[in-house]
Structure 1
Amino acid sequence: MLIESISGVRGTIGDSLQPAHIVQYASALGTYLKSKGTVIIGRDSRPSGEAIVRIFSATLQWMGIDVIHIGIVPTPTVQLLTEKKNADAGVAVTASHNPFPWNGIKYIDRTGLFMNADQVQKIMSLKNLTHTSYKKSGEFGSYREEGTALAYHIDNILEIPYIQADKIRKKHFRVVVDAVNGGGSLALPALLKTLGCDVVEVHCTPNGNFPHTPEPLPENLKDLMDAVVKHNAHLGMAVDPDADRLAIVDEGGRYLSEEYTLVMALKTVLSKTNRKNPLVVTNLSTTLAVDKVTHRFGGRILRTAIGEINVSSAMKAENAVIGGEGNGGVILPDSHLGRDSLVGAALILQLLTDENKPLSDIFASLPQYRMSKKKVEIGQSDPDAIIETLKKRFAQKETDTTDGLKILDQDRWVHLRKSNTEPILRIYSEAPTLEEAESLGEAMIGEIKRELRVKSGE
C-alpha cells in the first residue's frame, strides 16, 4: 500500500513504491519550487535509499535544481542543515519506524520544519502533471556530496546553552546504544564520544538490516537492556531508523517509557532557563508528567493536535523554550525545530551530571503515570460521526476537541482520535496506575462499540 499523508509518502519497495513514483514525487517538488534553488537530501540506512536518492536527485537536476546529498544521517540532521545552510527545501528518504522493506520521502520546508498539510497537498497535486519543465543539458542543476553534516550537527548541539560539555565529560558515562542499524548508527555514538562517554555499540552498523522490529519499544530492545546490565553501564539509548525518537534504559536494564524522554529533557531545560513563565508545547496524548514538571518550574503548557508539524509550528509561533511528543521526540529551538534524538541524549546526560545520582533514582523522583494505547476496528462506519456523537455524550465533562475527543480529569485522561490510514479509532488513556489507564481505555471502547451497534441497527 502506498501511503500519502502530511508526513509525505511511504510504500513497500518494488511493490507499492516504484522508480516511476520517485520521479513523480521529485518532479512535483521541483515544480513546487519553480525549478530553481537548492535541495538538501539525506537518508536512513535502508539499502533502497541509495537508489531513491539517485533517482530523486537526477530528476531535480533535470529541472535545474542543485542537489546536496549529505548521506546516511538522522532525519533531524537534514532538517538542521536545510535551515542553517539556507536551502530551498530538504528531503529525508526514510520510512521512519516502518519495518523493512518500507521506504519513503519526507518533505522539509526551508525553515527546517516539515512541510505542513497545505504544502504537502500542493506537492501531491503536482505529481501527475502531463508536462513537466525539464531542462536542456546546459541548464542542469548541480550535484555534490557533503560529508560534514554529522560533525555540523554535533557542533550545533555542543553550542546549546543548557549543555555543559566539560562537566559531562568528567563523568565518563558508559552508554549502550542500539541504533537498529539505522540512520543514527554513526551519529549518536559520535556525539556520545564527543561528550566523553564510553560507548558500547549494539546494532550500530548502518546497513539497514534491522535486527529487530525497528520501533524503540520495550518488547524490541532486549539486546539493549541485557547489554546495559552486562557492561555495567549508566544507561542505554535506543533510536528508530531515522533517529528522531529516543528511548532510554536505566542502569538496571529497565526500559523507561518513551514519554519520559521528553520529561527528563524538559527538566534539564527548565532548571536552567532564565525565562519567566517558560512555555512548553506538546501534543494532546503526551503524559501528564510534562504538566507536573513544567508547573513545578513555574512554566506554562500548550497542547496541540498530534503530529510533529503541529507541535513545532506552535513552538515557533509562541516562542516556546522546549517541546516535543511522548514518542521520544524532543524539540529544542536552541538547536532547531525538529524532533531530535541527539538533542534529547545530550539533555539527559546533562540531567545525570547535574543531579549526580543513578538514572533510576531520577526517574523515581518524577511524577509517575502509566499509559494504555488501544484501537477499535470500525469497518465502514464514519469515524467523524462516531466522535461527534461521543462529544455530545460527554459534553458535561472537561474535554478538549482540538484533535478528536480528549476527556480530562484531575490525574487521568482518555483521548479518542481517528486514524488517517486505517479504518480504526485509536484510544490513548493515562492514569497513576496501568490498571486504571487500561480501565479508562476499555470503558471508551465500550462506548464506541455501543455506538457502532446503534448505527448498525442492532
Structure 2
Amino acid sequence: MSAVRFGTDGWRGVIADDFTFDGVLVVSRAIGRYLLDHGMGGREVLVARDARFLGDAFSRLCAGELSSMGLEPVLLEGVSATPACAHAIVSRRAAGAVMFTASHNPPHYQGMKFIPHYGGPAFSEITSEIERNIADLLVSEPRPKRRPFEGEEVDLSQAYLDHVRSLVGDLGRLDGVRVAYDGMHGSGGRYVKPLLQSLGVDFVCLRERPDPTFGGVSPEPKAETLRDLISLCERDGYLGLATDGDADRFGVVDIGGVFFPANRVLALLYWYLLREGKRGGVARTVSTTHMLDAIASRRSQRCFETPVGFKHLAKLMLAEDVLLAGEESGGMSVKGHVPEKDGVLACLLVVKMVSSTGMSLSALWEELVEELGFQLYSRRRDVECSSEEKARILARMEGEDLSSRFGLPVSKELRVDGLKLVFEDGSWVLIRPSGTEDMVRIYAEAFSPSQVDQLIARAEGLLEV
C-alpha cells in the first residue's frame, strides 16, 4: 500500500486505485489511535457517509475497526451531509466523526476525513498527528484484519433540522417566492426538502435522489454544472438553490436565471444579517471578496482575513465574535452554528433574505451597491502546470519583487497564502499555487470586469507557463 496524505480534507483518491479497503483500515486505526492517545476512548465516535460508491461498505469497515480498538462507534443511517454530521458531534458531545466523502470531486473519487469534537475541520496539528500514525501503521501493521461493523444505524438528522430551522427563524412573506432546489444527486436533499416543506415554501426539486455517479458530472454547484437549474429559473421565475455532494457548499441562482457567485451571496447575507440587528465581525479567506470588508467597516465591525481553507475560519469562529465566516468557493457558517461550512443553512438563509425583504437578489445587490457607493467584480483563473513549473513559480514568488510588474501603486503585500497584492485603488490580485494539484490559481477583484481581466492577464504573464 502506498503512502497516504491526510490533510484538513482528509484522504481522497480514486476508488480501487489509491482509495482501497486496506487503506480505509489503516486510516481508521490511525484516527482511533489519535482519539485514544488524547483520552477520548469513553466517548462516541460517529461514522457517516455521503452518496459515493461503496460508502456503506467503507463506513461499516471503519466502524468495525474503531470498535475493535475499544472505541464506541455510532454509524449514521443513510447518506449524510457533512454539516449534519458536524452538528451531531457537538450535540451528542462525541469525540469526533469519520466522514466518508470526496465533497465536489468527480464520481470516481472517494474520501474520508476526521471531524474533531468541536464540529469543524481538523486543524493542522491534528491531521499531522494522524498522518504520523498512518506512516507508523504502514510499517508495523500494513494489512490489518477486517472487522465489519454489525451494529444498527442511527438516524440523527432531526436534531440538525431543528437546529437549522431555529437559526433561520420565520421566513416572513412567502407570497410569490418559489424555490427550485438542485441536489446534484448528493446528500443535501435529505435536509433541504423537509426544511422547505416545514417552512411552507413552494418548491420543486432537480436531481434530488442520491446517485453515486452524480449524473456523470462533478457535484460542484457552479454555473457550468447548474445549467438546467439556471434555465428553469429563467423560464419560470424560481429562486434557485443548490448544494454539492456532501452539502457543505452552496450555489444560488436569482429569479430570472442569473447565477450569483459565492462572493456576492456572502456579501448580501452579511449585510442582511447586520440589517436585521445581528452583530459580529466577518471572517473571510485571503481569496474572498473585499466587499465584506467594506460592509463591516460601515457597521463598525471587525473583518478577519485568513489563508485559504475553512479550518482557519473555524478557529476564528471558536475564538472571536464572528457573525459570518465565508470563502469564495461556496462555504459559509454563522454565529450560533458549528464552525463547519454548511450549504443547507446557506440556502435557507438566502430564502429568508428574499422572502422577508420581498426583493430579488439582483434588487438587493443594487441596494447594497448604492449604500456602499461602489461594487467590486471578481474572477478566478486556474492555470494548469507541471509540478516542476509550480515549484519554479513558488521559488520566484519567494525570491523576486513582482509588485512592480502590475503597473499600479501597491498599498499592501501579503504572503499568508501565496502572493497577494492590494493596490492603492482597492483592487487586488492573488497568485496562489495549489497545495494538492498541479495548478496555480489566480484571483483578482477590481471596480470593472475589464480591470479584473487585465490583472489576471498580467499575473498569468508572470507565471510563464
What TM-score results when the alignment is normalised by the length of structure 2? 0.88
The match for 1:50 is 56
Match of 1:255 among 256, 259, 271: 259
Deviation digits for residues 137-191 of structure 1 (CA, Å, limit 9, x no counterpart): 9xx99944221x322112102222xx332625x4473110111110112211221
CA distance in 1, matches of 2:141, 2:5: 24
In the alignment, which of 3, 28, 31 is matched to residue 29 of structure 1?
31
* 1:379 Cα offset (Å): 4.3
Distance in 2 of aligned mates of 1:336 and 1:372: 29
Structure 1 residues 308-387: aligned runs within 5 Å: 308-367=310-369, 368-374=375-381, 375=383, 377=385, 379-380=387-388, 381-387=391-397
Q: 234, 237, 242: which is aligned to 1:232? A: 237
Between the aligned partners of 2:443 and 2:357, the Cα distance in structure 1 is 32
Question: What's the offset of the Cα at 1:87?
Answer: 0.5
For structure 2, list consecutive stretches of 5 or more residues without a partner in the other structure.
Answer: 370-374
Q: Which amino acid is the alignment partner of residue 145 of structure 1?
A: E
CA distance in 2, matches of 1:393, 1:326: 24
CA distance in 2, matches of 1:316, 1:310: 10
2: CA distance between counterparts of 1:167 and 1:200?
A: 20
Amino acid in structure 2 at the alignment position of 1:146: V
Letter in 2 for 1:322: L
Code of the aligned partner of 2:83: P
Q: Which amino acid aligns with 1:346?
A: L
Summarize deviations over 1:80-129 as a string: whole Å, max 9, x none: 11112100011211001001110101110101111111111111111242
- Counterparts of 2:360 and 2:132 in 1: how far apart (Å)? 52
- Inter-partner Cα distance in structure 2 for 1:45 and 1:446: 41
Any gaps of 5 or more consecutive residues in structure 1?
Answer: 453-458
Residue of structure 1 aligned with 2:458, choices 416, 437, 443: 443
Equivalent residues of 2:171, 2:351 under 8 A apart: no
What is the aligned counterpart of 1:88 among 87, 95, 114?
95
Task: Tell me, in whole angstroms, the C-alpha distance in 2 between the residues paired with 1:220 and 1:213.
Answer: 8
The aligned residue for residue 424 of structure 1 is 439
How many angstroms does 1:351 deviate by? 1.4
| Count of paired positions | 439
Separation in 2, partners of 1:4, 1:390 = 32
Does structure 2 conserve the Cα–Cα contact (< 8 Å) formed by 1:418 and 1:424?
A: yes
SS at match of 2:22: helix
| Cα distance in 1, alignment partners of residues 358 and 410 from structure 2 | 47
- Counterpart in 2 of 1:306? 308
Q: Deviations over 1:1-30 (max 9, x none)?
A: 975433211011111111000000100011
In structure 1, the partner of 2:157 is 150
Q: 2:429 aligns with which of 397, 414, 417?
A: 414
Residue 221 (str. 1) matches residue 235 (str. 2): no
* Partner residue, 1:103: 110
Matched, 1:193 2:197: yes
Q: 1:209 to 1:396 in 2, by over 3 A?
A: closer
Report if aligned partners of 2:181, 2:206 keep a CA contact under 8 Å in 1. Answer: yes
Structure 1 residues 313-345: Cα deviation after superposition (integer angstroms, max 9, x where no partner) = 122212212211122212113122111112212
1:166 to 1:274, Cα distance in 2 relative to 1, 3 A: closer
CA distance in 1, matches of 2:132, 2:271: 43
In structure 1, what is the Cα distance between the partners aligned to 2:337 and 2:182? 23
CA contact under 8 A between 2:60 and 2:75: conserved in structure 1? no
Quick check: 2:165–2:195 contact (8 Å CA) kept in 1? no
Which one-letter code corresponds to 2:248 in the other structure? D
| Structural RMSD (CA) | 2.5
Distance 1:397 1:259 in 2: 23
Aligned amino acid, residue 432 of structure 2? R
The reply to whether residue 74 of structure 1 matches residue 90 of structure 2 is no
Partners of 1:262 and 1:329 within 8 A in 2: no
TM-score under structure 1 length normalisation: 0.89
Deviation at 1:229, TM superposition (A): 3.4
Residue 412 of structure 2 corresponds to: 398
Q: Any conservation in 1 of the 2:185–2:208 contact (CA below 8 Å)? A: yes
Structure 1 range deviating more: 417-426 or 401-410: 417-426
Percent of aligned pairs with the same amino acid: 26
Supply the distance in 1 between the matched residues of 2:397 and 2:225 (Cα, whole angstroms): 33
One-letter code of the match for 2:430? H
Q: Is the 8 A contact 2:242 2:347 kept in 1?
A: no
Q: Matched residue of 1:96: which SS?
A: coil
Contact 1:182/1:204 (CA < 8 Å) preserved in 2?
yes
Does structure 1 conserve the Cα–Cα contact (< 8 Å) formed by 2:171 and 2:355? no
Shift of residue 422 of structure 1? 2.8
Distance 1:177 1:214 in 2: 14
